[in-house]
Amino acid sequence: MPSIATPQAISSSRHGSAIAIIGVLFFIFGFVTWLNGPLITFVKLAFGLNDVNAFLVPMAFYLSYFFLALPASFILKLTGMKKGMALGLVVMAIGAVLFEQYATARIYPGALTGLFVMGAGLALLQTASNPYVSILGPIDSAARRIAIMGICNKFAGFLAPIVIGTLVLHGVDGMAARIQSAPTQAAHDALLNELASRVQMPYLVMAVVLVVLAIWIAMSSLPEVRASESNAASDSNRHSLLHYPHLWLGVLCLFLYVGVEVMAGDAIGTYGAGFGLPLSATRFFTSFTLFAMLLGYALGWMLIPRFISQQRYLAISAVLGVLFTIGAYFTSGYASVVFVAALGFANAMMWPAIFPLAIRRLGPLTEFGSAFLIMGIAGGAIIPQLFAHLKEHFDFQAVFALLMAPCYFYILYYALGGYRAGLRDAA
């Protein structure tokens, strides 16, 4: 059995080591997750897809969280945190190999399966790491710790589109023109095969790195933390998650938050293409959003909880989300894209605030409640897919605004009062 400690029993050196290890994992989360934006452009061209089918990339990836977060919680009960995280990294490596094999062969359902498997590994990692960081210290300062993780995550996310754009999507405008004007079917297929083969080496390297990290995590000194002792329950008579409405409101809040985050990050290239902007520019738009998120995390890390509470900061972030959405609607071209990228700043501290507020005082139900919150990541599958479908029939800017604004208003509600629903003395 792994040794178990409370945050108070962990030495400062072990605490710092644990934060560093989880920081590396969050870097991996970010790099793998934010590859989806440029991958939408890649599969659209390599497989000859329309936007609706290309947006199956984030849908397959994020739906894995919905189906596998609860099984992940039971796996973690059996394996413990370190072995569970190592297993998650190995599953991600398998998914990377599957994606590379099927994408190179231009078999789209197989490529989507690879992304689903990668998401499954991430579901296992996220189910363990998010509550771990939240309870590795006072819950009221959890947003500050998660902000550190967010900086690792979004820095990787900032790099991912640049790396994949450079290695896979270089010369994409010229390639698209050559594919479209290919004189024969054989020439057309040869160009598509050439483009598809570009993902082979990056994903094989990624798989090797993931396996090496799995071995490192398994051999690390990462301490176990008992949630029941670190996240005190609000009422010892509550033995069911149904008795914690603030959790369920938080699940919906995270569902909507991840939806708007993916819209601002992964869908920004498609949004820019709606104005006729060139592929050579739109392939890097995700990095702009992630850079804005990095700035938001840095500011949140400095302000929470010393100068402002995590719930108050969440409310301000939601208001900014509404304002930037309105700005995107009433502008066009690059100016509108800048407002969409600025949503990254508004979104940055939402996950760090929502997650600890939603699991607060769950006691021994913390891991189980966290699994339901991880299931909320499926918002990243549903909301962008709605965007892809609706923009086929209506103005894409109007669709974007009508999907985003209500989500931010609900997040504002949760920040102002939803987070304490059903909790005694929760103010």
Spatial distance between the Cα atoms of 337 and 351, rounded to a whole number of angstroms: 23
Of 19 and 357, the one with more pLDDT: 357
pLDDT digits (tens, 9 = 90+) for 254-288: 999 999 999 998 889 889 999 998 877 887 788 88
Whether the predicted pLDDT of 133 surpasses 80: no
Q: Are 179 and 83 in contact (CB under 8 A)?
A: no
Question: pLDDT at position 96, please?
Answer: 95
pLDDT digits (tens, 9 = 90+) for 161-209: 788 878 887 777 777 788 887 888 888 888 888 888 899 999 999 999 9
Of 7 and 358, the one with more pLDDT: 358
Of how many residues is the chain composed? 427
Question: pLDDT at position 134, please?
Answer: 63
pLDDT digits (tens, 9 = 90+) for 368-426: 888 889 899 999 999 999 999 999 999 999 999 999 999 999 999 999 998 888 776 54
Examine residue 425 and state whether it is found in any structural domain, yes or no.
Answer: no
> CB within 8 A of 21, min separation 6: which ones?
217, 220, 222
pTM: 0.80
Examine residue 426 and state whether it is found in any structural domain, yes or no.
Answer: no
Examine residue 427 and state whether it is found in any structural domain, yes or no.
Answer: no
Question: pLDDT at position 143, please?
Answer: 64
Question: pLDDT at position 406, please?
Answer: 97
Segments forming the whole domain that contains residue 334 = 4-228+239-420
Evaluated on CA atoms 188, 190, 193, 197, the torsion sign reads: negative
Of 343 and 133, the one with more pLDDT: 343
Question: pLDDT at position 262, please?
Answer: 93
Examine residue 233 and state whether it is found in any structural domain, yes or no.
Answer: no
Q: Are 173 and 278 in contact (CB under 8 A)?
A: yes
Whether the predicted pLDDT of 294 surpasses 70: yes
Question: How many structural domains are present in the chain?
Answer: 1
Q: At 145, which CATH number?
A: 1.20.1250.20
Q: What percent of the chain clears pLDDT 70, i.e. is strictly above it? A: 88
Question: pLDDT at position 228, please?
Answer: 47
Examine residue 234 and state whether it is found in any structural domain, yes or no.
Answer: no
- Helices and strands counted in the chain (H then E): 21, 2
